[in-house]
Amino acid sequence: MLKNNTPIKVIIADTAFIIRKGIRTLLLENKQFEFVNEADSSETLFMVLKNDPVDVLIIDHCCDDCFSVDSISEIKSKYPNLNILVISHEKSSVEIKKIINLGIKNYLLKDCDEKEITDAIMACARGEKYFCGQIIDVLLEKEISKDEHCMTGSISDREIDVIRQLVTGKRPKEIAAIMNLSYHTIVTHKRNIYSKLGISNTIELAMYAVKTGLMK
């Protein structure tokens, strides 16, 4: 929910009818969301966005003839404050990085489960980063297991601040002083960050920070 417990308004953009129907059903069954409209082409999507203000756009990144990198870039240009969640089958690190470099902070694969999708929509509406575990693996250049289920990758704004401090080499005690928090709070944040990202050291954390745009 957003302010005043109002449902999150969502538009779906996907070329596949079955995917649109599946996400639409998920939205309609959850009182936290309000399904507003859908589009099966870039042309239709721009008309929908013009007429229907929303909180979150769920869009597939697919072929160059439809929801391409250029299409998403144009959406970002015309609607800079629109929160965009990409849900795609695309696992190419090159393509994923192209999308992230546009400023997209939310990316899931289509084999994520219902909870991951709803969590991602909520995070997206709040302006938080959310990448599923398989996307994080791609960004960190790890091998992806086909049998491994996606893991929650929602990183809060506070955790982002902690990440930025950690990758500059600061220790938890120093970060606690800078952020005016307790040492134990910072240690907890660090542990949660590592768990969410499936990493074990600051080198992997730095790779994640650079590849997702947290550190330029």
Q: Write down the CATH number for the domain with range 156-211.
A: 1.10.10.10
Domain ranges of the chain: 3-154, 156-211
HSE (CB half, 13 Å, CA atoms) of 182?
A: 3
pTM, two decimals, is: 0.70
Number of separate helices (H) and strands (E) present in the chain: 10, 7
Evaluate whether the domain defined by 3-154 bears CATH number 3.30.70.20.
Answer: no
Contact 123, 130 (CB under 8 A): yes
Q: What letter would DSSP give residue 31?
A: T
Instruction: Please tell me the predicted confidence (pLDDT) of residue 2.
Output: 57
Q: pLDDT of 13-46, one tens digit each? A: 998 898 999 999 999 999 999 999 999 999 999 9
- Residue where the block lists tokens 């589009």: 39
| Cβ density class 79-100: b for 16+ within 10 Å, e for less | beebbbbbbbebeeeeebebbb
Tell me the residue ranges of DSSP E strands in 78-206: 83-88, 106-109, 129-131, 154-155
HSE (CB half, 13 Å, CA atoms) of 41?
A: 4
Beta-carbon contacts of residue 22 (< 8 Å; ≥ 6 apart):
none
Q: pLDDT of 68-79, one tens digit each? A: 889 999 999 999
